[in-house]
Amino acid sequence: MSKRLRSSEVCADCSAQDPCWASINRGILICDECCSVHRSLGRHISQVRHLKHTPWPPTLLQMVETLYNNGANSIWEHSLLDPASVMSGRRKASPQDKVHPNKAEFIRAKYQMLAFVHRLPCREDDSVTAKDLSKQLHSSVRTGNLETCLRLLSLGAQANFFHPEKGNTPLHVAAKAGQTLQAELLAVYGADPGTQDSNGKTPVDYARQGGHHELAERLVEIQYELTDRLAFYLCGRKPEHKNGQHFVIPQMADSLDLSELAKAAKKKLQSLSNHLFEELAMDVYDEVDRRETDAVWLATQNHSTLVTETTVVPFLPVNPEYSSTRNQGRQKLARFNAHEFATLVIDILSDAKRRQQGNPLTGSKENVELILKSISNQHSSESQDNDQPDYDSVASDEDTDLETNAAKSNRQKSLDSDLSDGPVTAQEYMQVKNALVASEVKIQQLMKVNVNLSDELRIMQKKASKLEKQSSVSESDYDNPTASLELEETGSGRKGRQRSVIWQGEGSIPEDADTTPSSSLPSTEDVIRKTEQITKNIQELLRAAQENKHDSYIPCSERIHVAVTEMAALFPKKPKSELVRTSLRLLTSSAYRLQSECKKTLPVETCPTTDIQLVTQQVIQCAYDIAKAAKQLVTITTKENNN
């Protein structure tokens, strides 16, 4: 941080002491509990960032500090400052209030409904009002009064407003006046540094002409913020814009050829119009932000109380301004494992560079969600089910490593580097990668599964009959036996049918052709006992991953494999129920694949190109699948035994 605020700082929503999160677009500081609610609202409502554990552009942090110190919170609580509000019973939340429903309801009313913001007199033509506000914003940004501009933006002023008489935008005015913090605020609200005025000049041009060189450099960074953020997520490195380098495109550590499906997906991605490509890129940007914030959250919270309903944001919240199809696709981005998501990000970076260099392909008029969905349909007719990821086709098959065309063309130029742009050695790359905490996203999900599983096991032991009703309400595709069957065949694993072949013999259920299908199932108590052992071993693996004890991966995976084998042995060799067979297949194949992934940690010292971070992410994914499959088996056996 550039500087710390006064020790008397308090949460803007509940007045708790020492808030450690900021809402950038609201200009406020918030505590952990209130931040969990902000995150659940989505970035279109509140853009949160940790004050200490997240990289900050110095001027962006200064902008938030300035707004906070100058009472920006009064913008969002205007009517609450009226003494009459106390008489009416309306009040803000307090530190002692429960997160749900007290704090959550207040925060939603404050930021989502804007219930306490000062309202302008109603006018018949709202567009005139917005135009008037935007003109006021246009003239205000030449001064340093940030809170005035934030108030105008909160009322509907447009950050990209093009003044018909002046022939420029508010960002042009701020850049010419050298108002760096105003430029930061405008950019947060969507101002484009690349917009040209009536003379064909951009805000960057005016900043340079005025001698505001640091501001000019910052505006260039803002212009490339999306691609910079994606690159930093993958390799912890950003381009050197000062030197004319505007893109860093990492490549996967493998050298396997692209599958036909992935080639088709890439071709469809390239055929998108610029507008639709930008929509997809923004969705992926939001998912990167969610995953990175999850990692910071995990690293800063009390792990004994971390995994609760108040802190988990498992997928991107709904943005009502988007279509339902796009919202579904955004949420399903969370299903991508580390390798799949990295492949999608690399493809977007590669195509963004191609488009920026002026090599457009014929634009497609199709909707971005439908284009990506159609690729998935080529893979399997069953993937037309709405539960399958709309963007799933862009990612790689779970067991097939991919690389982008850009990466392939640069492979010979980058034999000693894992980056296709820029002089970075493999050793430097590995040091940065090991410092990243991308795998913490899956760790958080795994912790959630383990805690929920332990709680449900205790409930089952006390009152198993309640599960019959609970089983009809699924938490995820694996929790719903029917949905999980579809998922295993066509879903996020993407290799459903192949998986049972790949792991045949070592990881799959032994099915003797002469064995008569059996409908008998083990007792619920036995399954629960074995599941508890699996959960305990997974927690040991989780701790090893958190502490970067990579040498513990193999022994942990072996103990998990033994526990899984013992659990599978409880069931008949050929269960009659297809749901049981599917769950057991997922359980055992995931355990075998976990062992295979853990063995990749052996040559780290002798083979510096081994991507230990990617291995860790795959290890966590396998453990996650094991925990979910075990939980599903408990649910199925309990339900069947109670019937």
The CATH number that applies at residue 69 is 1.10.220.150
Q: 367 pLDDT exceeds 50?
A: no
Which tens digits make up the pLDDT trace of 228-261?
999 999 888 899 999 999 999 987 654 444 567 7
Residue 252 lies in a domain: no
- What whole-number distance in Å separates Cα of residue 134 and Cα of residue 137? 5
Q: Are residues 165 and 191 in the same domain?
A: yes
Q: Which domain holds residue 321?
A: 260-435
Inter-CA distances, 468 with 224, 524, 525, 634, Å: 52, 13, 16, 12
End-of-domain residue from the set 389, 404, 435: 435
CB 229 within 8 A of CB 237: no
Q: Are residues 307 and 193 in the same domain?
A: no
SS3 category, 235: helix
Which tens digits make up the pLDDT trace of 456-496?
555 555 554 544 444 443 333 333 333 333 333 333 333 33
Q: Are residues 511 and 580 in the same domain?
A: yes
% pLDDT > 70, the chain: 67
Q: Are residues 391 and 349 in the same domain?
A: yes
Own/partner pairs, 488-493, CB within 8 angstroms, 24+ separation: 488/582, 488/585, 488/586, 489/380, 489/382, 490/379, 490/380, 490/382, 490/383, 490/385, 490/388, 491/335, 491/383, 491/387, 491/388, 491/389, 492/332, 492/335, 492/336, 492/337, 492/388, 492/389, 492/392, 493/398
Which tens digits make up the pLDDT trace of 261-297?
777 778 888 888 899 999 999 999 999 999 999 888 8
Residue 9 lies in a domain: no
Angle at alpha carbon of residue 277, lines to 273 and 282, rounded to 5°: 150
**Structure pTM?**
0.60
- Predicted pLDDT of residue 621: 78
Residue 486 lies in a domain: yes
Residue 117 lies in a domain: no
Q: Are residues 503 and 421 in the same domain?
A: no
- What whole-number distance in Å separates Cα of residue 406 and Cα of residue 420? 8
- What whole-number distance in Å separates Cα of residue 145 and Cα of residue 147? 6
For the beta carbon of residue 370, count every other beta carbon within 10 angstroms.
Answer: 12
CB 239 within 8 A of CB 224: yes
Structure confidence at residue 124 as a pLDDT band (50, 70, 90): low
- DSSP bridge partners of 419: 250
What DSSP element (H or E) covers 29? strand 28-30
User: Structurally, how many domains does the chain consist of?
Assistant: 4
Residue 515 lies in a domain: yes
Inter-CA distances, 464 with 146, 189, 499, Å: 59, 52, 33
Mean pLDDT rounded to a whole number for the chain: 75
Query: Is the link from the previous residue into 101 a cis peptide, with omega within 30 of 0?
Result: yes
Stretch among 142-146, 328-332, 361-365, 523-527 having the lowest mean pLDDT: 361-365
Q: Are residues 420 and 453 in the same domain?
A: no
% pLDDT > 90, the chain: 40
- What whole-number distance in Å separates Cα of residue 337 and Cα of residue 620? 10
Q: 91 pLDDT exceeds 50?
A: yes
CB 539 within 8 A of CB 450: yes
End-of-domain residue from the set 112, 144, 160: 112
Q: Are residues 454 and 487 in the same domain?
A: yes
Q: 187 pLDDT exceeds 70?
A: yes
Domain with residue 451: its CATH number is 1.20.120.330
Helices (H), 272-399: 274-300, 324-332, 338-356, 368-379
Q: Are residues 104 and 199 in the same domain?
A: no
Q: Side by side, which strands form the sheet with 48-50?
A: 28-30, 21-23, 48-50
Inter-CA distances, 139 with 133, 195, 199, 387, 612, Å: 10, 18, 19, 49, 53
Q: Are residues 583 and 517 in the same domain?
A: yes
What DSSP element (H or E) covers 68? helix 58-69
Own/partner pairs, 229-232, CB within 8 angstroms, 24+ separation: 229/285, 229/288, 229/289, 230/281, 230/284, 230/285, 230/288, 230/345, 230/348, 230/349, 231/349
End-of-domain residue from the set 112, 135, 153: 112
Residue 498 lies in a domain: yes
- DSSP bridge partners of 21: 30, 50
Residue 434 vs residue 122, higher pLDDT: 122
- Predicted pLDDT of residue 395: 29
SS3 category, 360: coil
Residue 377 lies in a domain: yes
Residue 12 lies in a domain: no
Q: Are residues 475 and 600 in the same domain?
A: yes
Domain with residue 209: its CATH number is 1.25.40.20
Q: Are residues 489 and 614 in the same domain?
A: yes
Stretch among 149-158, 187-196, 354-363, 519-528 having the lowest mean pLDDT: 354-363
Q: Are residues 173 and 204 in the same domain?
A: yes
- Predicted pLDDT of residue 81: 84
AA letter at 225: E
